[in-house]
Structure 1
Amino acid sequence: MTFAWYGHLKLAENAWFSKLPLIGVIVFSWLVAFFEYCFQVPANRIGFEGNGGSFSLLQLKVIQEVITLVVFVIFSFLAFGTQLKWNHFLGFVFLVLAVYFIFKG
């Protein structure tokens, strides 16, 4: 989803992509997102404890959010040169604590 939501901002630097109307950018993003859904939906279905998996609904959501944030940080660093600051690292510490407390129970 990171590339679907934010990749178009980087792709706008390319002449061919910057000429697309907004609806073209939306369709492009949805096509990219479609492939993530093809993996995420089955993973949630298989991993959910109600279907024989080992994760609660809350745990699945926390896993998804942490993966999304890690991928976003890597993407923003590589694609846009975003610099990480102390408050970002502190936020990551709190995310790790959130994962700990969600999985503790």
Structure 2
Amino acid sequence: MSICIFLYILHKIIQNVIFFVIVKTNMTLQIKNEKLLEHIAAVLKDLRIEKNVTQIDVYNETKIHIGRVETASANVSISTLEMLCKYYGIKLSTFFKRVEDLSR
């Protein structure tokens, strides 16, 4: 292998490593409110039980791994919550009202 090809490959590897470090650094800056996540998890689990579906059913129909959300181990996005609320047939405002009621 010529030195030019070696240097080009090395350059690309370094470029990818730097990009990964920047992305990874940005990903670790998430704020995580454990108590809020526990309340969100509890409401989502109640909604799933009320609909009489399993976590596997939810995944098959939404492609969302609800188990990580229901155990409060995932910092769930608003987009995911909105999709789950549609799945459960509930408005986001009603969902957050239920979460707020648990906080009292």
Please tell me the TM-score bracket, short chain as reference: under 0.3
TM-score of the pair, normalised by structure 2: 0.26
Whichever structure has more helix as a proportion of its residues is: 1
TM-score of the pair, normalised by structure 1: 0.26
